[in-house]
Amino acid sequence: MTSSFKTPPQDILAKLIDRCLSEGATAVDCSLAVSDGVSVDVRDGKLENVERSEAQGVSLRALFGKRQAHVSGSDLSDEALSAMAERCVAMAKAVPEDKFAGLPDAELLETNPPELDLAGDGEIELARLEADAIEAEAAALAVEGVKTVAGCGNGWSRMERWVAASNGFTSYLSGGSTGLGLAAVAMRDDAMERDYDSWNVRKMAHRPSPAEIGRTAGERAVARLGPRKVKTQKAAVIYDKRVASSLIGALLSAISGPSVARGVSFLKDRMGSQVFAGGVNIIDDPFLERALGCRNHDGEGLPVARKALVEDGVLTRWLLNTSSARQLGLEPNGFASGGFGHPPGVGTSNTHIEAGAKSPDELMQGAGKGLLVTDMFGPSINPNTGDYSVGVAGFWFENGEIQYPVSEVTIAGDLPSIFGRLIPASDLEFRGRMNSPSLLVEDMSIAGN
């Protein structure tokens, strides 16, 4: 995508910052983003819907001492930007103080953000999007037992983003992606089951063929036909790699700086201690090739790098932005998210649990019997204690082999002990921003009949 602005975007942001400072702001940050994309939906072998999106927007945050406010808009005219600056500063002067608000010190900033190659395929021809989606739908319908495809979509998107702050930081990032996915519905004796497959990647060459995606969705749906319930008991649970990353999400919430600072984290007293079993490593890598979460600085302009969040089972760091670092008396460490026109949150880039030595089948053989979880519904987590429960569906296994599908089951436990006995399999696959191999957790509470 080639931007077409009468005024260069960084000049627009610089003028916006200057106007806020002239209105009395003590600090300012802002961003300007443009994006476009196309998505298609097919049904019964025909194109059903085409949607094109084009957007541009500017976001602005002004600070007046320890007070802050933020606004956003899409009008980039000089008059609109001047009015935005005046309004934002006036709001900042009127709101209550936040004693931890503020931009990071200039000496902490990334002074030379590395260039990242995040380019996608660019604009993909509509005929190609349509043909690939139709091919995926046909492959799912060709699986014996599949009744229909509930939805099949394909598309591409791309974006450019410029950021700037009054502490001198500026940066530019662009990228693109494409995604193809569908949900298949299988039927037997008037009972229906549904499953899916989807891929969102930088380029089409990085995903399986449309036929393989469709076939996988169909086979998954058929495999779920005829589910049973299981008796309430304690047994091994294996989280399939499709759902295992949910445990990473629970960890990231628990090591979020704001949560720790507020005292609402079950790990708030565990820094530097053994949280997982020895040998478990959890990595955040902002430069992971082809990944969708890559970035060359954090949401406040601080440097980022490949870092271990958990090393050999030991918790090594909180996720800190400037605000939460100040609350905890620590230094920010490159995990601010969002920002530049908004108060920054905290977050990671591309996070994964490193693969273990044994395959999922080997873990299943070793466990003997238990539940292979392939779908999850509405997890409930107590952030203070880590008490955890979630509705699941999947497959019961005995003697190390799949026996039958199961549904309407709840698994429960507490996350500190779940983390402590978690065993990663060898099937790590990078599909999104959080990735995990299949995970074995022995002795889980399973609520069924």
Rounded to an integer, what distance in angstroms lies between the CA atom of residue 386 and that of residue 392?
A: 18
Say if residue 361 is in the same domain as residue 448. Answer: yes
Dihedral angle sign, alpha carbons of residues 394, 400, 402, 404: negative
Give domain status of residue 45, yes or no: yes
What confidence tens digit (pLDDT) does each residue in 202-261 have? 999 999 999 999 999 999 999 999 999 999 999 999 999 999 999 999 999 999 999 999
Same domain? For 318 and 188 the reply is no
pLDDT at 378: 86
What does the pLDDT look like over 386-436, one tens digit per residue? 999 999 999 999 998 999 999 999 999 999 999 999 999 999 999 999 999
Q: What is each CA distance from 446 to 229, 410, 443, in whole angstroms? A: 11, 6, 9
**DSSP per residue over 305-350, as a string?**
--EEEEETTEE---B--HHHHHHHT----S-EES-SSS--EE--SS
| CA distance to 6, 240, 266, 383, 418, per residue, from 415 (Å) | 54, 18, 9, 10, 5
Asked whether residue 370 falls in the same domain as residue 292, the answer is: yes
Which residue type does 26 have? T
Domain range for 216: 9-220
Alpha carbons 248 and 357: distance in angstroms, whole number: 19
Angle of helix 210-223 versus helix 126-141 axis, rounded to 10 = 30
**DSSP helix, strand, coil percent of the chain (3-state; round to 5):** 25, 40, 35
Please tell me whether residues 200 and 289 are part of one structural domain. Answer: no
Residue by residue, DSSP assigns 157-170 as EEEEEEEEETTS-E
Q: Is residue 3 part of a domain?
A: no
Same-domain pairing of 179 and 233: no
What sign results for the dihedral spanned by CA atoms 83, 345, 199, 202?
A: positive
One-letter amino acid of 299: G
Residues 213 and 242 in one domain: no
- Burial (0-12, 13-18, 19+ Cβ within 10 Å), 309: buried
Length, in residues, of the chain: 449
Q: Average pLDDT for residues 293-320, to the nearest whole number?
A: 98
Same domain, 185 and 74: yes
Same domain, 237 and 141: no
Q: Does residue 89 surpass a pLDDT of 80?
A: yes
Residue 4 counted as domain residue: no
Residue 352: pLDDT band (50, 70, 90) is very high
Whole-angstrom CA distances from 226 to 235, 240, 371, 402, 404 are 22, 20, 16, 14, 8
Please tell me the total count of domains within the chain: 2
Residues 73 and 33 in one domain: yes
Per-residue pLDDT tens over the stretch 271-306: 999 999 999 999 999 999 999 999 999 999 999 999
Q: Which helix (H) or strand (E) holds 41?
A: strand 27-43
> What pLDDT score was predicted for residue 448?
85
Name the domain boundary from 201, 220, 239: 220
The pLDDT, as a whole number, for residue 449 is 83
Q: In the 8-state DSSP scheme, what is residue 297?
A: S
One domain for residues 75 and 105: yes
Do 260 and 203 lie in a common domain?
no
3-state secondary structure of 175: strand
Write down the pLDDT at residue 5: 80
- Kindly tell me if the per-residue pLDDT of 3 is higher than 70: no
Q: Is residue 124 part of a domain?
A: yes
Domain stop point among 158, 190, 220: 220
Phi, psi of 83, rounded to the nearest 5 degrees: -65, -40
Secondary structure class of 365 (helix, strand, coil): helix
pLDDT at 2 over 60: no
Residues 74 and 154 in one domain: yes
Last residue of a domain, one of 220, 238, 273: 220
Whether 1 shows a pLDDT value over 90: the answer reads no
Mean predicted confidence (pLDDT) in 308-315: 98
The angle formed by the CA atoms of residues 64, 320 and 345, to the nearest 5 degrees, is 60
Q: Is residue 150 part of a domain?
A: yes
Residue 2 lies in a domain: no
**Sign of the CA dihedral with 13 first, then 70, 66, and 107 last:** negative
Beta-strand pair 336-337/191-201: unpaired
Interatomic CA distance for residues 318 and 321, integer angstroms: 10
Residue 267 has pLDDT above 90, yes or no: yes
Report helix angle 78-94 to 9-22, nearest 10.
Answer: 40
Whether 398 is in a domain gets the answer yes
Strands (E) in 20-142, as ranges, are: 27-43, 46-64, 67-73
CATH assignment of the domain containing 47: 3.30.2290.10
The reported pTM is 0.95
